[in-house]
Amino acid sequence: MKRRSFLKVSGISMIALAQAGATPAIASNRPSLRFLRPPGALPEEEFLNRCIHCGQCGEACPNRCINYFELENGLASIDTPYIIPREKACILCMKCGDVCPTGAIQEVKYEIDDILDKVNMGKAVVDRQLCLSWQGKTCGVCYRACKLPDVAIRVGMLEQPHILEDCIGCGLCERSCIQIPQAIKILPRQT
């Protein structure tokens, strides 16, 4: 960890503990917002143990969808990468895993079998009460945005989206949804 990052983390941690009157044991790792880890990220506990907060994953991301936590997700997550799909989704380029020096984000080949085997960011769910296609107006934007059409999502009559078991949760469907609030959301993977 670089000196600047260390000082930032130390300062933020001291301020947070002072404001909360808490000890590090009380400051938990409970997420306060719905987020995804980059594609190929290890299960959460192992990911947090391996991530060295180097920022290389975000620098390699051509879509600039990777952000870094400050205090909003607890002390254990400070300076770790995350994605908010509604703001900017993952385009599955897999460059973050190529540059991760510790393996916290695994290398994933840009091949369907490797992607399906190693990427589990979450899974899409459709709110039929909000979805235009389920309300009788054809849409299909989520299907056309998906990098894995007919593998992760298929459409039925009036382009009604049906999420399939192989959805990896990249968030492109959520990002592209024209409804506000969005009719399709990614639920992060269970750790």
pLDDT per residue over 153-191, tens digit each? 999 999 999 999 999 999 999 999 999 999 999 999 875
Q: What CATH number does residue 128 fall under?
A: 3.30.70.20
User: Are 94 and 135 within one domain?
Assistant: no
Q: Dihedral of CA 18/20/21/25: which sign?
A: negative
The answer to whether residue 114 sits within a structural domain is no
Joined together, the tokens standing for residue 85 give 């799909």
90 with 9, same domain: the answer is: yes
148 and 77, same domain (yes or no): no
Percent of residues, the chain, with pLDDT higher than 70: 83
Task: Check whether residue 87 and residue 127 sit in a common domain.
Answer: no
In-domain check, residue 135: yes
Cβ atoms 178, 137 nearer than 8 A: no
Range of the domain at 175: 122-186
pLDDT tens per residue across span 14-73: 554 444 443 333 334 444 578 999 999 999 999 999 999 999 999 999 999 999 999 888
Assess whether 130 and 72 both reside in one domain.
no
Q: Is it the case that residue 6 has pLDDT exceeding 60?
A: no
In the chain, the amino acid numbered 118 is: K
Mark 45-66 as b/e (b = at least 16 C-beta within 10 Å).
eebbeebebbebbbebbeeebb
112: in domain: no
